[in-house]
A = this chain, B = another copy of it.
Amino acid sequence: MTDKNKAIPTAILGASGYTGAELVRILASHPAAELKVLTAERRAGKEVAEVHPHLGGLDLPLLTATADADLSGVAAVFACLPHGASQEIIAALPDHLKIIDLSADFRLADTQTYAQWYGRDHGAPELQQEAVYGLSEVAREAVKTARLVANPGCYPTASLLPLVPLLKAGLIDSDGIIIDAKSGVSGAGRALKESNLFCEVSESFAAYGVAAHRHAPEIEQGLSVAAGSPVGATFTPHLVPMNRGIFATIYVRLAGGADADGLRSELAAFYGDAPFVQVLEEGALPATRHVRGSNACHMSVFDDRRPGGAILLSVIDNLVKGASGQAVQNFNLMFGLDETAGLGGLALAP
């Protein structure tokens, strides 16, 4: 169905990790993207199928070192590079490229906040000002005209999608928001850390980065933009013994006489046209397996038993809507394609 003559030549920088692999998986059957360049430092020279055996049988270029990549014939770049390295490599890219950066490097608009949380000055502060924070459903119009999109983190995506519309509508207090979030292990990437070993994770559940996770300022930035004033939030991430999925349990205080029904209606209205967001009916419970492998976000709203509060539940696949799927969604918007192009895959369960 793809007219390869009209295809958009595309590069993935950093294709050996899990988000890189997901981009290959999604883009391989994308109707308008053509994979021309795939980079990976330690694996340069290898076939993709050697590094990602589940992606065998595709007609793909060999992996190459990023420094050796010829991007002259490329129009779109997905960058899956390590935090810190990404900003410098992206700053050096030719101007004609449209770029979706999956690292955290361009997510925080305030470079001081960046410096505080990442322990170093930002290396490309002007480019930072140009970058659009690409929470697709919320920033759709800005993404359409962006040259550089900072693709949101997985926790911020799962948290902001239910919260932003409610803050905008003034239905919840901007104070006292608590986000108790749980993630599958692929959220930590493919790095060789003891905490990622099977035997350290399986048959266990644990919190990490309590009151100290780098996604906290990113979430607060998104909440503040939505509320129009500074919003803080309590954010606690946890590790679940599963490969994929984020589940956010969010405790909010109601404002302006709202209740769970009102919140649900607002969310349903806000996402009425959004192809990937599904606001569940009263009483329905989301689960990460319902969105595994898909670009969907499912959310539901419950009245808290204690008056004046509500509980929001939100699930995504951290590697898809929380990373590579949303990146392709942003790519679609940036190139004037159908927002769902290449993203029609249904969830895989069980």
Contact = CB atoms under 8 A, between A and B. Distances in A.
Contacts of A233: 306
B288 A232 contact: no
A9 B186 CA distance: 40
A56 B349 CA distance: 12
Interface in A255-288: 278, 284-288
A348 B348 contact: yes
Nearest to A305: B211
Interface of A: 1, 18, 21, 25, 28-29, 52-58, 178, 180, 182, 184-186, 190, 192-194, 196-208, 210-212, 216, 232-236, 238, 240-245, 247, 249, 251, 278, 284-294, 296, 298, 302-306, 309, 311, 313, 344-350
A286 B243 contact: no
A3 B235 CA distance: 48
Given A29-B346, A203-B245, A207-B285, 13 more contacts: A53-B286, A53-B298, A55-B347, A185-B198, A199-B350, A202-B241, A202-B243, A206-B247, A207-B286, A211-B311, A234-B309, A234-B311, A348-B348
A349 to B, nearest CB: 4
Copies of this polypeptide in the complex: 4
A205 B247 contact: yes
A334 to B, nearest CB: 23
Given A54-B349, A304-B211, A350-B199, A192 B190 contact: no
A172 to B, nearest CB: 15
Given A251-B234, A304-B211, A311-B210, A197 B190 contact: yes
A1 B1 CA distance: 8
The 8 closest A-B pairs by CB, nearest first: A204-B289, A206-B287, A199-B350, A54-B347, A54-B349, A180-B180, A243-B350, A185-B198
Contact of A202 (B202, B207, B291, B294): B202
30 contacts: A28-B346, A29-B344, A29-B346, A53-B284, A53-B286, A54-B291, A54-B292, A54-B294, A54-B347, A56-B290, A178-B178, A182-B182, A185-B197, A185-B199, A190-B197, A190-B199, A198-B198, A200-B350, A202-B203, A202-B241, A203-B242, A203-B245, A203-B289, A204-B288, A206-B247, A212-B305, A234-B309, A235-B305, A238-B247, A251-B251
Contacts of A53: 284, 286-287, 290, 298
